[in-house]
Amino acid sequence: MIAATEIWAQDMRMRVLGIETSCDETGVAVYDTDIGGPAGLRAHAVYSQIALHAEYGGVVPELASRDHVRKLLPLIRQTLAEAGLGVGDIDAVAYTAGPGLVGALLVGAAVGRALAWALEVPAIGVHHMEGHLLAPLLADDPPAPPFVALLVSGGHTQLVQVDGIGRYRLLGETLDDAAGEAFDKTAKLMGLPYPGGPQLAALAAHGVPGRFRFARPMTDRPGLDFSFSGLKTQVLLAWRDSDQSEQTRADLARGFEDAVVETLAIKCARALEQVGGKTLVVAGGVGANQRLRAALTALCQARGGRACFPPPALCTDNGAMIAFAGALRLAAGQCEEPAITVWPRWDMATLPAVG
């Protein structure tokens, strides 16, 4: 296996343009393998479509695709300028090929493939969740495999055993709503504006802990799968039966957040115990939640290990994680035929190993 830190010392050195368009954020970055490590991220920028979709209370796929068309090329120009590079300085292109919204994925794939073809450089389609999984390697003092990864976002909640780059084994996943999705839906039930997850987390900071205690789903049985849809229903019923004051809203938010955080912590502890590991990598948008970070850091420290997180700016969807993941695979000699292919559903366990 080729460790991430060893890639940068190899002869194959590239400036990789990363493109992320899987959902409602347009992300572009340049990663330079000649520099390596966190410093190798020459520039990155993200354009969020929150304002566009707020009117509808959620992502509208067709509008997301059209907005990527409008924003992607200007964002590429902006990012290259910030990196001090011209388009001809790009040595390779990495783009998100899935999973995600098919129309949004096709925008990034078409631009990435066209650019690679015009420049006569290699290109590679990157798995969106592998990008998230590897994003903590862009932090200072990155972890080295093997480790357990918690991928927790609006669309995914998974526990993965990572034995190397491309060597993944699914340990458990959500059976219904992902944790981030449950945050957003619960916030909407309580009348919070879109996107609800961050709003609910901010509100929970003012809540009284323990006033509302909700179930810790599926922690009373063995296994590493998750379920959050029932928790969302519990909050709805409590909200309907309450005085619906601002303080009650905050207390409910705190009770919900505590339930999600404790559930994730319990399952992470089980996963580490099952594989005999001490290192936990946490990635995805919900990984920016401060209470979750504190709980998982304390959990790992108590076990004599550590919890590793991406820099906060790289928790949500971004081009940096795609450029970095693509650089690792391209440096290992992996690339693809010049065809525009995307996979709205894509099992990460099918990815080839690096090395």
330 is in an annotated binding site: no
**What residues have CB less than 8 Å from 321, skipping those under 6 apart?**
18, 20, 131, 132, 134, 135, 138, 310, 314
Question: What is the total residue count of the chain?
Answer: 355
Q: Cα separation of 154 and 151, whole Å? A: 10
Q: Tell me how far apart the alpha carbons of residues 267 and 278 are, in angstroms, rounded to a whole number.
A: 14
List, in order, residues 6 or more apart from 301 with CB less than 8 Å away.
none
Longest dimension (CA), the chain: 66
Burial code of 279-310, b = ≥16 C-beta within 10 A, e = fewer? Answer: bbbbbbbbbbbebbbebbbebbeebebbbbbb
- Please tell me whether 318 is known to bind a ligand: no
Q: Is 229 annotated as a binding residue?
A: no
Instruction: Please state, in angstroms and rounded to a whole number, the distance separating the CA atoms of residues 338 and 19.
Output: 16
State both tokens at 289: 């939640």
User: Binding residue per annotation — 289?
Assistant: yes
Letter for the amino acid at 118? A
128 labeled binding residue: yes
Q: Which of 258, 230, 259, 249 is nearest to 190 (CA)?
A: 249
277 is in an annotated binding site: no
206 labelled binding-site residue? no
Annotated binding residue 11? no
155 marked among binding-site residues: yes
Annotation-wise, does 153 bind a ligand?
A: yes
Q: Binding site annotation covers 84?
A: no
> Amino acid letter at 252?
L
Q: Which residue numbers belong to the known binding site for substrate?
A: 151-155, 184, 197, 289
Which residues define the annotated binding site for Fe cation?
A: 128, 132, 317
Residues annotated within the binding site are: 128, 132, 151-155, 184, 197, 289, 317
